[in-house]
Amino acid sequence: MAKMKNLTIVEVEIFNFLRNRLKEKPDKKMTSTFVRLKDKLLRNEGNPLEARSFMYLDIIGWLESKIRNIPVQEVIKEKYKAKITAVNN
């Protein structure tokens, strides 16, 4: 996928993050790095051309779990409960 020539903006941001940050040891700086990546990705979340990048992997949920230092399952449960509440109201 990284060698594809038609990568989306979201895919490019994720690959750049992986190349640059995962070489480093995790530390407190990683949280701010996760926040910056999440912000960059959220700017493209509503873009229909970027939709396939969000379709199969909840990268935003994963980043939230790293930022908040909780399991990704908890973030997914919270999002699900919020959707159910919104639908019922």
**Span 17-76, pLDDT tens digits:** 888 876 766 666 788 889 999 999 999 988 998 888 888 889 999 999 999 999 999 999
CA distance 37 to 60: 9
**Residue 7 scores a pLDDT above 70:** yes
The pLDDT of residue 4: 62
Is residue 75 one of the residues assigned to a domain?
yes
Is residue 43 one of the residues assigned to a domain?
yes
The pLDDT of residue 26: 64
Enclosing domain of residue 48: 9-88
**Residue 2 scores a pLDDT above 60:** no
Is residue 3 one of the residues assigned to a domain?
no
Is residue 1 one of the residues assigned to a domain?
no
Is residue 60 one of the residues assigned to a domain?
yes
**Residue 3 scores a pLDDT above 70:** no
